[in-house]
Amino acid sequence: MDILDGLGQGFSVALDPTNLLYVFIGVLIGTVIGVLPGLGPTATIALLLPITYEIEPVTAVIMLAGIYYGSMYGGTITSVLLQLPGEAASVVTTFDGYQMAKQGRAGPALGIAAVGSWIGGTVSIVGLVLLAPPLADLAVEFGDPEYVALTALGILLVTYLGTRHPVKSLAMAALGLLLATVGQDLITGTNRFTFGSISLFDGFDFVAVAMGLFGVGEILYNVEKTEKAQALKSKIKDIWPSRKDFKDSSGAIARGSVLGFFLGVLPGGGGVISSLASYGMEKRRAKDPTRFGKGAIEGVAGPETANNASSTSAFIPLLTLGIPPNVVLALIFGALLLNGVQPGPQLIDQQPEIFWGVIASMAVGNLMLLALNIPLVGFFVQLLRVRAGILAAFALLVTMAGVFSVNNDVFDMWVVLVFGIIGWLMKKTGFEPGPLVLAFVLGSILEESFRRSMLISGGEVSIFFTRPMSGTLFALMALVVIWSTVQGIRRRRRRSRPSMPGEEDLAATGTTAEPEGTPGYENTDDAAGAPAGAPREGSGSTGAPGSTASKAQDGGPGPDRG
């Protein structure tokens, strides 16, 4: 299908009154949960999964996508006004955004963030339109060895990128892989770890696991910390940025759009890494880096643009390969499967209304957000007065009813509760649920593809290295491992000496931004609630996010080549 025809069809889907309503609901929910520190896009989408079952698949994805990119806008508001990142991807915005607010420039900070987000989103949509169809054509050629390479790369990156404790992440990823093996073995038909229980024949239900770990785990964790909303410190005026503001931030917005786009496509990438990388890049490029952290508008514009761009481009691997690059997309993947839609190379041809409809809805949704954000900032801030306990009780009720409604199976409710407690304990002990859930989703793809590759090759492992695409991907993986090891050694050596400019900034950002008890939350784009008003009680992390950013930039274009 021609791109123009596709877009035409997409807009006819997106502008359908029902879908228009759901775009609006999606971006509104997204903004609201972006503002509320207790709930992030991952938890919200996990909680809403069962509801999508009742609506058309395309409408469901339109709404969930709206929540995702909407939360990128919403998170900005509290970061700027209260130095309280509403969700993880907005952590860097607190550095300069809050300083701007203290100088009475909260308006322009929010304004430039909204405009930048809109531009980033739009650039990403254009990239998605131009890149996804050829990538889907290419993806048809992808065989099982390529899927093995891609999923392995995804799991590797998600445990490495932006993680303060790669070992903990690795342990969680391993647990995720193990959980993925529960149920009937596709190749031999034998049952594994089912203990004779028929409820486990199909393995753990992804929705139940995700709702437990993110939804209930998050709720429990937040209820523990009774955070009071702080009073609004500054008045918001002159939201529309001045000509000088635009001039100062135009470069940052342009770079942020491109950077965010590529980091979003990367497995394990997403909003948080993009915003960190963009902040680092702007600071490095600036003529006077000392302005950063004191209210430089580029420090708000760049990261906010990048996180929004990445939340759009993250749909590329999902819609063309059927591989979710990060946890939020893994949930959207689950929503599609729940509705009987198999995302993959066939999607564009067989269900063009979903592919193009979702893309077109993003264009519409981003416009809505621009319109919503500028006049309604004051209203959104009021939301912080809602007490966490009330919100939590309500969310828990919705979760339990919701998960039951998917399969009408009481067993799933137990799964949610058990994983909820596991998720809560994990958060308390500094383990991240992100790598676990992503490995759980990718694990079954990895295993099936690996074993099919073995069947096809007659047991020859060389199949992974002799095929050009999978060979390239495995080489890339080797590079990532070597690079990060070398970086780690160099950083340790350099510790006493002055470090590279970009790295130090991010080390500093890491120190202020990472709340205790939720280390490494920035790698997965979720855990949005994690900061939960504790941005300052950070512990002394040393430069981990710095290496994250540089690594991410390095590996950025990788998957596009693949």
Q: If binding is defined by CB under 8 A, does position 202 make contact with other proteins?
A: yes
- Report the Cα 508 to chain-centroid distance in Å: 23
Query: Which of the residues 90 through 129 are near other proteins (CB under 8 A)?
Result: none
Q: Is 430 helix (H, G, I), strand (E, B) or coil?
A: coil
Each residue 151-190 as x (binds other proteins by CB under 8 A) or -, in order, gives: ---------------------------------xxxxxx-
Q: Is 339 in the site for other proteins (CB under 8 A)?
A: yes
Query: Which of 103, 230, 342, 382 touches other proteins by CB under 8 A?
Result: 342
Out of 3, 181, 201, 393, the only residue in the binding site for other proteins (CB under 8 A) is 201
CB of 367 to other proteins, least distance (A): 31
450 binds other proteins (CB under 8 A): no
Q: Point out which span in 119-127, 164-172, 196-204, 394-402 binds other proteins (CB under 8 A).
A: 196-204
Nearer to other proteins, 176 or 345 (CB): 345
Work out whether 198 is an interface residue with other proteins (CB under 8 A): yes
Which of 142-150, 298-306, 473-481, 540-548 is the region at the interface with other proteins (rule: CB under 8 A)?
A: 142-150
Collapsing DSSP to helix, strand or coil, 223 comes out as helix
Contacts of 44 (CB under 8 A, 6+ apart): 29, 30, 33, 67, 71
Q: Do the beta carbons of residue 446 and residue 174 sit within 8 Å?
A: no
- Which amino acid, one-letter code, is at 53? Y
The residues near 459 (Cβ < 8 Å, ≥ 6 apart) are none
The answer to whether 340 contacts other proteins (rule: CB under 8 A) is yes
> In the chain, what are the helix, strand and coil shares in percent, each to the nearest 5?
75, 0, 25
Amino acid at 556: G
CA distance 131 to 561: 11
Task: Assess 133 for contact with other proteins (CB under 8 A).
Answer: no
Cβ neighbour number for residue 489 with a 10 Å cutoff: 10
In whole angstroms, how close is the CB of 264 to other proteins at the nearest point? 24
CB of 134 to other proteins, least distance (A): 15
518 within 8 A of 430, measured Cβ to Cβ:
yes
Q: Which of 53, 246, 450, 483 binds other proteins (CB under 8 A)?
A: 53
Q: Is 199 in the site for other proteins (CB under 8 A)?
A: yes
Burial of 417: CB neighbours in 10 Å, binned 0-12, 13-18, 19+: middle
Using the minimum distance from each CB to other proteins, give the nearer residue, 53 or 483: 53
**Nearest residue to 326 via CA among 544, 42, 94:** 42
Query: Binding to other proteins by residue 282, rule CB under 8 A?
Result: no
Candidates 263-271, 278-286, 342-350, 553-561: pick the segment binding other proteins (CB under 8 A): 342-350
| Residue 50: both structure tokens together | 């069962």
Measure the CA–CA gap between 59 and 54, rounded to whole angstroms: 10
Smaller CB distance to other proteins: residue 140 or 376? 140
Looking at beta carbons only, is 68 or 333 nearer to other proteins? 333
The residue behind tokens 């149920």 is 183
Number of residues lying near other proteins (CB under 8 A):
33
CA dist 559 → 267, 312, 321, 479, 487 (Å): 8, 16, 11, 14, 22
Smaller CB separation from other proteins, 196 or 540: 196
- Rule CB under 8 A: choose which of 69, 73, 95, 142 binds other proteins: 142
Residue 433 to residue 158: CA distance in whole angstroms: 11
Contacts by residues 377-383 (CB-CB < 8 Å, ≥ 24 positions apart): 377/77, 377/110, 377/236, 377/239, 378/236, 380/31, 380/32, 380/35, 380/74, 380/77, 381/35, 381/77, 381/78, 381/81, 381/232, 383/32, 383/35, 383/36
Q: How far is the CB of 341 from other proteins (least distance, A)?
A: 9
Q: How far is the CB of 25 from other proteins (least distance, A)?
A: 22
Closest distance between other proteins and the C-beta of residue 403, in Å? Answer: 14
Residue 366 backbone dihedrals phi, psi, to 5 degrees: -65, -35
**Which residue type sits at 16?**
D
The amino acid at 97? G
Residue 187 CA to residue 203 CA, distance in Å, equals 15
Tell me: does residue 350 bind other proteins (CB under 8 A).
yes
Separation of alpha carbons 449 and 424, rounded Å: 32
Answer yes or no whether residue 376 interacts with other proteins by CB under 8 A: no
Asked if 408 is part of the footprint of other proteins (rule: CB under 8 A), the reply reads: yes
Quick one: which of 327, 319, 322, 325 has its CA closest to 357?
A: 319
Q: Where do runs of H (alpha helix) occur along 103-242?
A: 106-140, 144-160, 166-180, 206-210, 217-224
Task: Provide the minimum distance between the beta carbon of 345 and other proteins in the complex, in angstroms, as a whole number.
Answer: 5
Among 75-83, 193-201, 222-230, 264-272, which window interacts with other proteins (CB under 8 A)?
193-201
Nearer to other proteins among residue 278 and residue 453 (C-beta): 453
For the CB of residue 145, give the shortest distance to other proteins in the complex, in Å. 9
Tell me which stretch binds other proteins (CB under 8 A): 136-144, 419-427, 475-483, 540-548: 136-144
Tell me the per-residue interface mask from 457 to 476 with other proteins, x by CB under 8 A, - otherwise.
-x------------------
Q: Determine the interface stretch with other proteins among 38-46, 216-224, 336-344, 433-441 (rule: CB under 8 A).
A: 336-344
Query: Using the rule CB under 8 A, is 12 a contact of other proteins?
Result: no
At 184 the three-state DSSP class reads strand
Using rule CB under 8 A, residue 345 touches other proteins: yes
Contact call for residue 409 and other proteins (CB under 8 A): yes
Shortest Cβ 321–other proteins spacing (Å): 10
Helix locations, 430-543, DSSP H: 433-457, 463-466, 468-494, 501-513
Residues making contact with other proteins (CB under 8 A): 53, 140-144, 184-189, 191, 196, 198-199, 201-202, 339-340, 342, 344-346, 350, 407-409, 448, 452, 455-456, 458
